[in-house]
Structure 1
Amino acid sequence: MSTEKTVRKEFGEVEENALRLDQEKADQIVEALNDDLADAYVLYHQLRKHHWNVEGAEFRDIHIFLGEAAENVEAAADEIAERLQAIGGAPVSSMPNLSERAGVSPEDGDVYPIRTSLKNDLEMYGEVIESLREHVELATELGDHATAEILRQILVETEDDAHHLDHYLEDDTLVFETSAE
């Protein structure tokens, strides 16, 4: 770890930006985007947990889907962080700050049956989707159409992954359930 004590920008500080977004508006958008970024990291880690721990007859398909979904969330987090920086903010990045800011709560460290895990993922997706919708509306109302468009694109991808996840939870399957004896 570095022993450097010089701070170039404190977390929470929003600097003037080259995009000419009004300072007061930038402050509000940075707050919203940091919440979205924290949510994305929580969702990402939960999806990875399930990707690593999935077992059973449908292992391969679910394993691949969860890996791809986690990659989508990681890409979204990067887009959000870069937009935050462009409008003068500092992306939330320390573990305590991520945990504090996230509006979603992850599972604990235990491993659950995959159906339970996927239900938990779908619930988290729903919360993330609702927050993204609110922040698209906020950015639009504040006249930051570029941020609104970035969040819209992320929202489309997030809703698509949630829709696919919902299909894994349907009761129509070729796999027979066996009872433990």
Structure 2
Amino acid sequence: MSTQQTVRLRADEVEGSDALRIDSERASQLVDALNTDLAATQTLYHQLKKHHWNVEGAEFRDLHLFLGEAADEAEEFADELAERAQALGGAPVSSPSAISERSPVEPENEDVYDIRTSLGNDMEMYGDIIETLRDHIELAERLNDPTTAHMLRENLIEVEDAAHHIEHYLEDDTLVVESAMQ
């Protein structure tokens, strides 16, 4: 670890952005929302990766690929959220403990569950994130930040699409013989 101790920006400070013409008061509210979304997205990413690693069964391949792609999308969005928070003059939430404290969604524990339980937990987390994103889109619009609103809206489309796919995976219709499911 470096011995240099020059702090350029404290984690709880927001400077705002002269270049983006967003003052520190508005930027502070936006960075707070973005950091909440970032923490939720990081939590989602780790849960999706857990399920990607542990999925088994007749539909392994499709679910393994879907969960890997969904995790990649979450990781990409987390990067966009962090970069936007920094552009607004804030510090993106980054440490595991800070992410855990800030996240509005609760991850499942370390146990490995059947895939229906895992996907049900994912769908619940996606639903919570969808509601939070909608609230933060409204906040960004109210604070006259169309760029942040647009970014969140574009991700909301992907998050809703992933949740919709999970909903389909959880339907009763399956090619798996019923006796094999018990």
Residues in 2 aligned to 1:79 and 1:13: alpha-carbon distance in whole angstroms: 20
Residue correspondences, number: 181
Aligned AA (1:102): S
Query: What's the counterpart of residue 3 of structure 2?
Result: 3
Would you identify which runs of 4 or more consecutive aligned residues in structure 1 move more than 2 Å? 1-4, 177-181
Query: What's the counterpart of residue 101 of structure 1?
Result: 102
Unaligned runs of 5+ in 1: none
Residues in 2 aligned to 1:115 and 1:3: alpha-carbon distance in whole angstroms: 49
Matches within 5 A, 1:103-142: 103-142=104-143
Offset at 1:180? 8.7
Same amino acid, percent of matched pairs: 64
Matches within 5 A, 1:16-27: 16-17=16-17, 18-27=19-28
Query: What's the counterpart of residue 176 of structure 1?
Result: 177
Matched, 1:154 2:155: yes
Residues in 1 aligned to 2:2 and 2:118: alpha-carbon distance in whole angstroms: 38
Aligned alpha-carbon RMSD (Å): 1.3
Offset at 1:14? 0.6
Residues in 2 aligned to 1:106 and 1:180: alpha-carbon distance in whole angstroms: 26
> CA offsets, 1:13-56, max 9 Å, x none?
11131201122111100000000000000000000000000000
TM-score normalised per structure 1: 0.97
Residues in 2 aligned to 1:150 and 1:118: alpha-carbon distance in whole angstroms: 26
TM-score normalised per structure 2: 0.96
SS in structure 2 at match of 1:178? helix
Residues in 2 aligned to 1:38 and 1:99: alpha-carbon distance in whole angstroms: 7
Residues in 2 aligned to 1:29 and 1:160: alpha-carbon distance in whole angstroms: 25
Query: What's the counterpart of residue 12 of structure 1?
Result: 12
* 1:32 to 1:180, Cα distance in 2 relative to 1, 3 A: closer
Residues in 2 aligned to 1:172 and 1:55: alpha-carbon distance in whole angstroms: 18
Offset at 1:4? 2.6
> CA offsets, 1:49-85, max 9 Å, x none?
0000000010000000000000011111111111111
Residues in 2 aligned to 1:117 and 1:72: alpha-carbon distance in whole angstroms: 18
> CA offsets, 1:134-159, max 9 Å, x none?
00000001101110000000101110
Aligned AA (2:89): G
Residues in 2 aligned to 1:163 and 1:78: alpha-carbon distance in whole angstroms: 23
Aligned AA (1:176): V
Residues in 2 aligned to 1:47 and 1:4: alpha-carbon distance in whole angstroms: 37
